[in-house]
Structure 1
Amino acid sequence: ALELFEIVGDVISRGYVLSNMATILHKKGDIDASQRALNEALDIAINHKSLTLQATVYGSLGVLYGSIGEYGKALEFMQRGLDVEEQLGDLTSMTASYGNIGVIYYYLGDLVSALDYHQRALDLSIKLDMAWMTAVSTGNIGGAYVGLGDHATGAEYFRRAIPLHEAVGNRGSIARVTGNLGIALRENGELEEAVTHFRTAYQLDRDLGNTDEMFFAAANLIYTLILCGDVDEARTIIDQLDGQSPTDPHSVALYRSALGHMQRVDGDLDAAHQLLTEALDIAKEIGSTEITMSMHKDLRELAKERNDFEGYIAHNTIFLQLTEEIKGRAATSRVANMQAERAMAAEREERARERAVLYSTLPKHIADRVVRGDDVSGDHYDHAAVLFLDIVGFTTHSSEHPPSVITDLLGTIFARFDEICATHGVTKVKTIGDAYLCFKGDGTAEENARGVAETAVAMQNTTFSWPGGHQGGLQVGAAEGLRVGSPVQFRVGVHIGPATAGIIGTERLQYDIWGDTVNMASRMESTGEAGKIHVSEAFASFLAHARNDIPVPHSVRSDIPSVPHVEGERVIPSDSEEPFPIPYSLFPRGEIEVKGKGVITTYWLEGPLT
């Protein structure tokens, strides 16, 4: 592949091949060859300004240096990779980088930073639904808490991580986290349960052929068995591993430490000192603060048995110093602050979600008041202009098509009506099946009448079609994917008068409007005709005054004057030379019987004739 890409001049692809080769070489243990391949790939990425390749190679170099204990270089390259990923907005790669950086900080003994980065990885992996990374990050957070001395919280996170790993079928990670749970339990004094988990982890790693992980689990199992007094089983584990050796420096250090403890049990204190000192040297060489601290503690206890007073003082001093650095007040305070910040951030995020739901279900000005804590249980309006709209023949048409098609059509229609309401300052209240309810009550009676009239005319002027028909093609205004059929018709009713609007309920908030004015608007709609706007005499009167800029006398507001009842006579001529902001006309319909109201006079509101 390298030769082919070189022949065709595809340099960037050649860089990716080198990066993939480096990963394979790393797994085979050829660190030098892996490093050379990555350096060549990095040169290509930088020279050809490929940010994506740069991010990939930086991350791989970080992992490589971390595997050989060069944590400073590992952190440097991982951070460079993260910077590029953030620049690219590559959230998936950022999640992995957060986790890897957290691991390096853990090895460096900066457990607070480790906890911070693992928590970032967890948050992002949950957001992106990355199951495997969620499991890994959960376990790593447990490790950070154990390192900080909070063994109970660490064990809790390990217990969460195990079923997450089981769900994705990662047996190697199950073994690792099970062993880590054993460490948390041992440090918490639960030795027998710890041994059970170490045995499980050790056997899993043996079955999987994970040599380094197997030695890591074996070292912990041997040490814990010695603490429990079960020296014979500890010897059996050592015998099983005879002739094998780990390569990972952490496993090497821990296993030599375990062998040192066995020599100590056997009474060979000098051999024990030699093995523990070798483990300490490895830990210091790779920069593992955690293992270094543990080895100084073990060497301190061994010095006491060897009557090495100076050695005891030296190891005790360093042990206490490291303990304070890792688990002292400053670290505890930083963890507490970080947890508090995350709790507040989670609370802010929850409030933002609640607010988003609030604004999606309530009119904006009402939602604003709810957020401020105002009482919105009922606002009274003296002159609320209320509009009811119903889709003609909805039941018949909806029975002829799949529910999803009808739902899409309704969504398109009502979304357009929402836009119209917003344009004219009208408040949408709700939809009820195929019905639409809105009102305007924040202005004068004339302003409210005018706004709702403009809204009603605009709604009737929209063009939508039922799916089906024989014309073919699509029509502007129709829901996407629907064939042109018969036009969708609306029946609109409008009335004006006193009404109350507010929020009903406490659990599932719903904004509504009620009162006789609403009932009357509904009657106007139900007694109307397809494609027409049916308005009450009260609404027509206020609209006429709004048209002629004649204020309605205060004495008239409760006793609305009549509009001429001559059939066909226009109250507002469409050909008037006077300027008028909307092109509508009023025509008397005559007297009709309205349920609960008796015989009343009503009007048709229409646009200009063409």
Structure 2
Amino acid sequence: MRFKIKRHFFSLTCFFCLLYLHVFAQDQKLADSLAKVYEQGNVPDEDKLELLRNLSFNEMRDLDLGLRYAEELIDLSEKLGNDLYLYRGYLQKGNKIRYQGDLDLALDAYFKSAQAAKKAKYKIGEGTTYIAVADVYSFSNNPTNAMLYYHKAISTLREADDSVALASAILNAGDEHLNLKNYDSALVYFRESELIFENVDYPTGKAFSLGNLGMVYANFGQSDLAEKNINEAISILEELGNFYPICTYLISMSDIYLEKGDILMAMNYAARSLKLAQVHGLKEQISDANLKLSELYEKEGDLKKSLVYFKDHIAYRDSINNLKSVQNMADLRTDFEVSQKQIEVDHLNKERENQRIILISLVVIMVLGIIILATLFWYYKNIQKEKKRSETLLLNILPLETAKELKLNGKVEAVKAEKVTVLFTDFVEFSTLAEKIEPEKLVQSIDFYFKKFDEIITKYGLEKIKTIGDSYMCAGGIPTPKEGHAFSMVMAAKEMMALVENSKNNNDGLPHFEVRIGIHTGPVVAGIVGIKKWQYDIWGDTVNIASRMESASVPGKINISESTYNEIKNEFKCEYRGEIEVKNRGLLKMYFLT
């Protein structure tokens, strides 16, 4: 049995602003000792920058005090024209404000921090600030902008060649997968980040990786592994004096014991989270802990106490700024970035116009004219090459007819197809094996299978829709209707099954799996979703039933629905399985291909 763990918002960004000095954890004792130096008031401005940076970073007991240090650092940095410390000041301001729950102001501070880091040409700072921006977008339910800035962070930090910062970006991207319930992908990300943090002996990062791995294991129903990892994470964070994430993991422990049926232990963990959050003024965590205690007392039948905790939950929840303002800021930021791009395009067009005028005036000089013509020819060839490359890339993403419609009209209308055959595959015990296999080998193995699947469906004129973790989805009869798509899909499924069976004998050092395949035929709606990173997709009950066919299959078998059977029964032998119960669908007739 699996249970859901509510995603509690926090980021590792605040732990990495001292990377260039290789300081590996916040230290409240250091903040207390440096405060005495600060109070003496005789520190020169250049040295005071570093003092304020350390104070704002390490002060975690009093968030308002930490915020005042950050704002003073910003003012002094602007006065001295120091972009590097300006980046650090805005980063710490964003961190303190975010912990207090004012996310729109935190986001504004992060964007100013990234701008300063970019101006200072400090890749590590720019990358870690992008992580913080992505985290805020993720928490405000804006996955498009969240993934955009996670990718920016990872790309920027790869250029910086900093293992700790890169691992933090990978860890937070994995957290986004966890939030989207892509547990297999989240497991791969968290295992990779844990390995990196372990190799560089970074306890804070290791603690977050272990805690998030615990959440994944909890969702897999492996409560012992979940409890082991989360307890180890809490132990590390307690030693570091970092209480914000401990509140989150304590609630997760409460969920684990609730699943075990131990209400008393679940209450103890939730109460511990509430007390810790109250001591340190963490409003969101206070709200979450009150809600958890309300739920637990309701299960115990103590409705009076349940109501008291629920009222406290509502009070603290309403004190946190409305996330809608953050979403509005996200939209404004997107509009700003689009307008900036338009300015660049206009500027580029203006430059090209000026070049054209210059070229016309130089035509009268024959020798220079020949050189210019040769140059233009070279540019023309390269533009054609890039155009061909772009069209090839577009065809790798979208079907040919869809790509043509997009190029012609600038958009693609959703289309209903009355009869389409949909196939799902799923590797057996993938999640279990993923825990024991190196992430690199796991990815290589999945890549091997999916590349072969791509070749097979291309051979039969089918359309790949997408991959979801270790699941592969394709369809026949779209985007252009055609006869025989069910026959083609069955032929492709047989080749896929044969490929998987034969690969078990490969001596290539990679893990190999058994596979289940399910097929169903029916109507769908097809089209493109989103405005960035287009994806051709299909929707409808047919997709859900095809997925149920796969989950109702067995390893090494191809399970088809009654509608698909009626399409191919004259060409293929099938074994009737009878009517089988399907979640939310009742009894459905199913057949094994023999």
Q: Distance in 2 between matches of 1:52 and 1:193?
A: 46
Q: How does 1:86-125 map onto structure 2 within 5 Å? A: 86-125=78-117
Q: Give 3-state SS (helix, strand or coil) of 1:69's partner.
A: coil
Deviation for aligned residue 1:136:
0.8
CA contact (8 A) 2:73 2:85 kept: no
> Hey, what does 1:136 align to over in structure 2?
128
Quickly say closer, same or farther: Cα 1:348–1:235, change in 2 above 3 A. closer
Q: How does 1:250-265 map onto structure 2 within 5 Å? A: 250-265=244-259
Deviation for aligned residue 1:197:
2.4
Amino acid at match of 1:263: Y
Instruction: Please point out which of 168, 188, 192 is paired with 2:184.
Output: 192
CA contact (8 A) 1:296 1:319 kept: yes
> Hey, what does 1:55 align to over in structure 2?
49
> Hey, what does 1:85 align to over in structure 2?
77
Q: How does 1:209-608 map onto structure 2 within 5 Å? A: 209-237=201-229, 245-247=238-240, 248-319=242-313, 325-341=320-336, 343-344=338-339, 346=340, 350=344, 353-354=347-348, 357=351
Q: Deviations over 1:290-310 (max 9, x none)?
A: 434443443343333233434
CA contact (8 A) 2:28 2:58 kept: yes
Deviation for aligned residue 1:213:
2.8
CA contact (8 A) 1:215 1:255 kept: no
CA contact (8 A) 1:85 1:93 kept: yes
Unmatched 5+ residue regions in structure 2? Answer: 1-19, 369-378, 381-594
Q: Distance in 2 between matches of 1:307 and 1:151?
A: 38
Quickly say closer, same or farther: Cα 1:176–1:28, change in 2 above 3 A. closer
Q: Distance in 2 between matches of 1:28 and 1:137?
A: 18
Q: Deviations over 1:443-493 (max 9, x none)?
A: xxxxxxxxxxxxxxxxxxxxxxxxxxxxxxxxxxxxxxxxxxxxxxxxxxx
Quickly say closer, same or farther: Cα 1:92–1:240, change in 2 above 3 A. closer
Deviation for aligned residue 1:92:
2.1
Quickly say closer, same or farther: Cα 1:112–1:246, change in 2 above 3 A. same
Q: Give 3-state SS (helix, strand or coil) of 2:138's partner.
A: helix
Q: Distance in 2 between matches of 1:359 and 1:252?
A: 60
Deviation for aligned residue 1:143:
0.8
Deviation for aligned residue 1:282:
2.0
Deviation for aligned residue 1:218:
2.2
CA contact (8 A) 2:211 2:233 kept: no
Q: Distance in 2 between matches of 1:312 and 1:327?
A: 25
Quickly say closer, same or farther: Cα 1:350–1:312, change in 2 above 3 A. farther
> Hey, what does 1:390 align to over in structure 2?
none
Q: Give 3-state SS (helix, strand or coil) of 1:216's partner.
A: helix
Q: Deviations over 1:489-546 (max 9, x none)?
A: xxxxxxxxxxxxxxxxxx99xxxxxxxxxxxxxxxxxxxxxxxxxxxxxxxxxxxxxx
Quickly say closer, same or farther: Cα 1:318–1:354, change in 2 above 3 A. farther
Aligned Cα root-mean-square deviation (Å) = 4.1
Q: Give 3-state SS (helix, strand or coil) of 1:149's partner.
A: coil
Quickly say closer, same or farther: Cα 1:72–1:431, change in 2 above 3 A. farther
Deviation for aligned residue 1:80:
0.8
Q: Distance in 2 between matches of 1:431 and 1:41?
A: 69
Deviation for aligned residue 1:83:
0.7
Quickly say closer, same or farther: Cα 1:73–1:41, change in 2 above 3 A. closer
Deviation for aligned residue 1:79:
0.5
Quickly say closer, same or farther: Cα 1:300–1:204, change in 2 above 3 A. farther
Deviation for aligned residue 1:104:
1.7
Q: Distance in 1 between matches of 2:108 and 2:48?
A: 25
> Hey, what does 1:528 align to over in structure 2?
none
Instruction: Please point out which of 23, 35, 55 is paired with 2:32.
Output: 35
Quickly say closer, same or farther: Cα 1:333–1:251, change in 2 above 3 A. closer
> Hey, what does 1:155 align to over in structure 2?
147
Q: Distance in 2 between matches of 1:167 and 1:151?
A: 24
Rg larger in structure: 1
Deviation for aligned residue 1:268:
1.9
Quickly say closer, same or farther: Cα 1:196–1:276, change in 2 above 3 A. farther
Amino acid at match of 2:58: L
Q: Distance in 2 between matches of 1:30 and 1:233?
A: 30
Amino acid at match of 2:270: L
Quickly say closer, same or farther: Cα 1:334–1:56, change in 2 above 3 A. same
Q: Deviations over 1:81-118 (max 9, x none)?
A: 10111112212221222222222222121111222222
Q: Deviations over 1:111-154 (max 9, x none)?
A: 11222222222233334432212211221111111222224532
CA contact (8 A) 1:219 1:254 kept: no
- Normalising to structure 1: TM-score of the pair? 0.49
Q: Give 3-state SS (helix, strand or coil) of 2:274's partner.
A: helix
Q: Distance in 1 between matches of 2:271 and 2:78?
A: 43
Instruction: Compare relative contact order (CA 8 Å, sep 6+) and give the higher one, 1 or 2.
Output: 2
Q: Distance in 1 between matches of 2:82 and 2:133?
A: 23
Q: Distance in 1 between matches of 2:274 and 2:28?
A: 24
Q: How many residues are treated as equivalent by the alignment?
A: 350
Deviation for aligned residue 1:318:
4.9
Q: Distance in 1 between matches of 2:143 and 2:286?
A: 19
Deviation for aligned residue 1:209:
3.0
Matched, 1:64 2:25: no
Q: Give 3-state SS (helix, strand or coil) of 1:233's partner.
A: helix
Amino acid at match of 2:300: R
CA contact (8 A) 1:216 1:255 kept: no
Q: Distance in 2 between matches of 1:431 and 1:35?
A: 73
Q: Give 3-state SS (helix, strand or coil) of 2:134's partner.
A: helix
Q: Distance in 2 between matches of 1:145 and 1:97?
A: 21
Q: Report percent identity of matched pairs.
A: 14
Q: Deviations over 1:320-345 (max 9, x none)?
A: 5655644543443344345445544x
